[in-house]
Amino acid sequence: MKFVKNYLILFLLSSAVFIGCKPKDADFKAQIEKTLQASPETAGVTVDVKDGVATLTGEVKDEATREKAGSAAKDVNGIKNVENHVTVTPPPMVETPPVQINNDTTLAQGVKDATKDFPTVTANVNDGVITLTGSIKRSSLQTLIMSLNTLKPKKIDNQLTIK
C-alpha cells in the first residue's frame, strides 16, 4: 500500500510539472508583451511563447529597436531562447519644402520701402542676401531689422555701425 502511495505522489507531481508548462508560456508571453507595450516604438511587435522559446514578429524603425525588442524577451527569467523575426523598416524620408525666398527685384523694392526713414543706412541686395552698411541709432535698429525680416530674404548681413 505504501508502495502504491509513493507511486501516486510521483504521478501527481510529474503531471503537475507537465501541465504547468502551458500557463508558464502564457505568463512569459504576458510579461514580454507588457515590456513591449511600454514603449511606443516596440508596441507593434507581437510575441508568441512555446516551451520557453519566444518568437518575435513585426516591424520596427531601426536595428536598435529590433534589439530592444529581443532584450525584452531575453531578459525574462525562464525564457530559453528568442527567435527574433522582427524586421527593420526605416521610416520614409520626409522632404521638407524649401523656404520661400523672394527674388532680388522684389527684395530691392521692399528694402527701399523699409529703409526710407533711415537715410544713413545703405542696403544692397544680392542673391537674396540683404547687406546693411552705414550707421543707425540703436533705438531704430530693431524697427529696421523687423521690417526687413518680413521681406523673406535668404539672409540679412548687418554691418551697420550702431550709434
Query: CB under 8 A: which stretch of 22-30, 32-40, 47-55, 95-103 binds another protein?
Result: 95-103
Stated as kind and residue range, the H or E segment containing 70 is: helix 63-74
Please tell me the number of Cα atoms within 13 Å of 17 on its side-chain side: 5
88 counts as binding another protein under rule CB under 8 A: no
Among 60, 65, 110, 123, binds another protein (CB under 8 A): 110
Candidates 53, 113, 121, 126; binder of another protein (CB under 8 A) is: 113
Q: Residue 129 has what DSSP assignment?
A: E
- Take residue 152 and report the three cell numbers written for it: 523673406
What is the Cα–Cα distance from 157 to 131, expressed in whole angstroms? 5
- Under the binding rule (CB under 8 A), the answer on residue 30 touching another protein is no
Residues binding another protein: what is the number (CB under 8 A)?
29
| 27 near another protein, judged by CB under 8 A | no
Question: CB count, 10 Å around CB of 114?
Answer: 21
CA angle (114, 119, 125) in 5-degree steps:
50
Q: Name every residue whose Cβ is closer than 8 Å to that of residue 156 and which is 6 or more positions away in sequence.
A: 129, 130, 132, 145, 148, 149
Minimum CB separation of residue 100 from another protein in Å reads 9
8 binds another protein (CB under 8 A): no
- Mark 50-79 with x for binding to another protein (rule: CB under 8 A) and - for no binding: ------------------------------
Q: What pairing do the DSSP bridges indicate for beta strands 121-126 and 129-136?
A: antiparallel
In the complex, the smallest distance separating the C-beta of residue 63 from another protein, rounded to whole angstroms, is 25
Task: Indicate whether 103 belongs to the interface with another protein (CB under 8 A).
Answer: no
C-alpha cell at 127: 542673391
Contact positions toward another protein, by CB under 8 A?
96, 98-99, 109-110, 112-114, 116, 138-143, 145-147, 149-158, 162
